[in-house]
Structure 1
Amino acid sequence: MAPSDDDFQAQLNDVSRKLALPSFLKDLTPSRLPSQAASDASGSSPKDRDGPAHRRARSFASPLHDTHAGHEPDYLQSFDAESLRLSVSLLLAASNVSEDGYAELCSSEEKARRAWVKMAATAAFSVFDHGHQDLVLAVDFNFFGTRMVTASSDHRVKVWDRRDDAWTLVDSWRAHDAEVVDVKWNGPFMGEVIGTIGEDGYFKLWQEDVTEIANSGRRFKLIYRQVSETKVPFMSLDFKNIMQETWIALVTRDGVLTVLEPVDHGNFSGEWHVIAHKQIIQPPPPPSEERSFRVCFHHEQLPCWTAIQAGLDRRALSFAVVAMDVVKVFRTDKNRRPYIAAELTGARNIIRDVAWANGSMRGTDIIATASKDGMIRIYELSTPEPSHAPSTLAAPAVQETQPSPRNRARNAPSGIGAGLAGASRIGDAVDHDQDPGRVKHAVKMVAELASNHGAVWRVSWSQMGDLLVSTGDDGAIRTWKKASDNRWLEYAEIEPYKGQ
């Protein structure tokens, strides 16, 4: 007899409470999400797991297992093996499954993952003519994976919709008066907004007007633009969203970092307040030297829980900035002033990309870099617990010593503001009178992977933060996974497309 919905909810709440204990959270691996694991494993016996209440909870917690809906959402791009292992472990505690049964389930999971990777390698690519008149320099997908934007040396940007397993052109327009070097979608909560940067020195925001005819060249309207203050073109941009709030990070080819926040988060065409404006490398590299500067936000809603426990503001912005052969990791304190929390070193040539993995509940931050020296490096950032830190996850309430930047911005002019005073100082892992909420991070390089790409150009994490994807000079796509002995191993390889 299946349990009632009330009985099931009581069991679910009990498991959720146990999963929230710090002692449990410290042992989590990158993609073991407690909310999903609790829902997948809270049935009291194997026969109960097929009950309607369990199916509802399972599909709510993990769209990957939503079989009764009749289709798999387009945005699912990773197979969540770590959460499955955790679910099985919790299930064993609630039932009489033997150790042999557990081993069989683990083996089945591994076979399923390999089958998924093989399927992705053979059937996931759509080859089509992008129609640009020059090299495509940047590509980005929206949050759901249903739309794609391409940017090219031909000065144009194109937006594509995925329909019936094919990509259909929505619109194409001249976005800059020079090469478009980077493009990003904003998050899903503020309409269809795209950010672009070009060699003409401009950063621009474009918003879709659905009343315009498709392929008219007028469907995406320019709503904001800003020129580089140093007259040196921007090299990289990224968006950060916390629900309906948005921030933008930009870095120029001479290493000037700018972080912007709209005065009114509902109006991107209005004034923008400058949170940070800082030269991140002194002196800037000479013009004859190859330059590499990139910026990447930590995209989750909350920072790592151990950093919050040590005093970091729950709403802190976190972003990693490539400065030639070093990555500087920034956080913002309780007054929204950025500071350098850690530096990632060890590269033997310039770093061409950086990616910050999701998984705040694991207790550490994981960042990967791609280097021209042919290596992929993975770093773990931990937060040493201060001796007098609070015993709960909640950060202590601290009264701000000055109005927040968001309130100050309503009377502040737009554009590039004053430099970032004291931004490079690393605070202690406790609140300061003048700089509350600054924490230190201990950095450890946990893997240095020979990529076989030649020079590595890009790295990217799966949504769950358990798979790393890389590409480089050889054109192949490689997937990396953490093994049970904590080594990072190449898991799958997709050969470059060899079409005509």
Structure 2
Amino acid sequence: MALETEFTPDHSDRLTVLQLNNDSSKLLTASVDHRISVYDIDKISGNRKQLDVFTAHDAEIRDAKWFHPSTGTHFVTVANDMQMRVWTQDTYQAPMSGRRFRRMAAVKSEQLVPFASVDVKTVGNNTYIVVVDRQGLLSLYEPTNPDEYNEWSLVDQLHVCSPTPGRGDHTSFRVRFDPNTFPLPFLSSVSDDQGQLTIAVTALNEVKLYRTTSDSDLIRPHVSSQQHTTNPGRGASRTSYLFEVLRISSHPTQYQTSAGPLLRDVAFCPANICGSDILAVASTNGTVAVYEISLHSQATADPANSSTVTSKQNARPALQPHQSNLTSALHSAAASAQPNQPAISRANHPFLYSHHATAISILQDAHADAWSVQWDPSGGTLLSSGSDGTVKIWKRMLGAGGLGEFELVAEQAGEDDSESEQSSSDEVGEEI
């Protein structure tokens, strides 16, 4: 068992990001001080060696993610300066020179709204970036040239909540790709699309699940011809659209308010080999909820009520369709040119299967305010943290019918700091 060692990052202000890459060979920290620090990690001894520390943005860094190691040493960052930036390691520069990592690309927020969360996914030879801003605008990007990351094209864009939050409203948006190699529909033999993307987003007090499709026969009834043609014209290599396939509301607890608690974080379990996706959700009311998502063929399901959520304790009603429009400048221009054009629904998904979510474990009072959730690589252990300054480890135990609910197996308390906060999870009460 590895020994616990103290780690003091090279920053002058509080940390907002702490990220390991996929093979745990590199560590990245980001801070309110606008700087990023990168470390090499020896896989045998676990020793860290600092590669560089440099100023990456002109404002507080909100989130960062490593690319898959097979693509090289790259990572993406977002900050309050309304910029998304892609970085790469320049091995010709000396370590600790401040130039070891150089910026490859920068994408500015179209709406001039700070980004809140970002994630990266590599599928075969294709790499995608998904980012959400503080008003809930979700954007999916891919590199214009698959072999280079210096230019990025917008694949699709939509608002995850309607109406959009106003300036100064309490908001919470986190976005996560499904990290599994193959999507659940392909593993369940209900789809032939191995490259389908699955994205989970916390949209205020709901988690929404989106899947992509590039099948023109399925897209055509749901996307207008004007909007259909704008997608490839913006540089995307193929026409691909995101469709909402499932919506999970805040799980009712004794702390439930009329508006519902904000959801701070969501995480996919990295092991869906058992025929279902597993999602963990952290909430401001201190609850950590774990959901199991299964698929059903539309031949045996009612398409009108195809995406539902239930609990082991209480059945929950079928979810109602929700209208959500593309909001990019080009799409707005197309809509203004034809004012009688109906709104586009991204909830009435065109897939030949339906989604069903079951709450398999509701961990009430896990924290005073649950900030984040994270799975171990095996998918059997869940880590959570919150405003009580503790990190808790939950493990799924054996029950009467096989695997049962998650139970607390370890707890690590941090230092008592009344000013500590979870800057990397969401934006609460800040001016946009």
Matches within 5 A, 1:258-297: 258-270=139-151, 272-297=152-177
Once the two structures are overlaid, the 10-residue window that deviates more, 141-150 or 330-339, is 330-339
| Higher RCO structure (Cα 8 Å, ≥6 apart) | 2
Residue deviations 1:209-253 (CA, integer Å, cap 9, x gap):
111000111111111001101101000000001133200000001
**What is the letter of the counterpart of residue 365 of structure 1?**
D
Matches within 5 A, 1:48-447: 119=1, 123=3, 125-163=4-42, 164-270=45-151, 272-304=152-184, 308-311=188-191, 313-335=193-215, 336-347=240-251, 348-387=260-299, 418=331, 422=344, 424-427=346-349, 429-430=351-352, 439-447=353-361
Q: Report SS of the residue matched to 2:273.
A: helix
Q: Distance in 1 between matches of 2:270 and 2:120?
A: 15
Higher strand share: 2
Q: Distance in 2 between matches of 1:287 and 1:459?
A: 27
Compared CA separation, residues 417 and 162, structure 1 to 2 (3 A):
farther
The Cα shift of 1:188 comes to 0.8
Compared CA separation, residues 129 and 288, structure 1 to 2 (3 A):
same
The Cα shift of 1:147 comes to 0.9
Q: Report SS of the residue matched to 1:138.
A: strand
- Could you tell me which runs of 5 or more consecutive residues in structure 2 were left unpaired when the two chains were aligned: 216-239, 252-259, 302-327, 336-342, 418-432
Q: Distance in 2 between matches of 1:387 and 1:457?
A: 40
Equivalent residue number for residue 430 of structure 2: none
Q: Distance in 2 between matches of 1:387 and 1:292?
A: 37
Q: Distance in 2 between matches of 1:224 and 1:273?
A: 11
Q: Report SS of the residue matched to 2:297.
A: coil
The Cα shift of 1:452 comes to 3.5
Q: Distance in 2 between matches of 1:344 and 1:469?
A: 21
The Cα shift of 1:349 comes to 0.7
The Cα shift of 1:289 comes to 2.5
Compared CA separation, residues 377 and 173, structure 1 to 2 (3 A):
same
Compared CA separation, residues 307 and 190, structure 1 to 2 (3 A):
closer
Compared CA separation, residues 341 and 240, structure 1 to 2 (3 A):
same
Q: Percent identity?
A: 29
Q: Report SS of the residue matched to 1:487.
A: strand
Residue deviations 1:165-213 (CA, integer Å, cap 9, x gap):
3322111111111101111111011110010111000000011011100
The Cα shift of 1:273 comes to 2.3
Equivalent residue number for residue 469 of structure 1: 383
Q: Distance in 2 between matches of 1:306 and 1:243?
A: 15
The Cα shift of 1:476 comes to 1.5
TM-score by length of 2: 0.75
Q: 1:147 touches 1:160 (CA, 8 Å); kept in 2? A: yes
Compared CA separation, residues 425 and 339, structure 1 to 2 (3 A):
same
Compared CA separation, residues 308 and 475, structure 1 to 2 (3 A):
same
Cα RMSD, aligned residues only: 2.3
Equivalent residue number for residue 429 of structure 2: none
**What is the letter of the counterpart of residue 296 of structure 1?**
R
Compared CA separation, residues 388 and 451, structure 1 to 2 (3 A):
closer
Q: 1:305 touches 1:360 (CA, 8 Å); kept in 2? A: no
Residue deviations 1:30-58 (CA, integer Å, cap 9, x gap):
xxxxxxxxxxxxxxxxxxxxxxxxxxxxx
- Could you tell me which runs of 5 or more consecutive residues in structure 1 were left unpaired when the two chains were aligned: 1-118, 390-414, 431-438
In the alignment of these two chains, the number of paired residues is: 344
The Cα shift of 1:306 comes to 6.6
Q: Report SS of the residue matched to 1:374.
A: coil
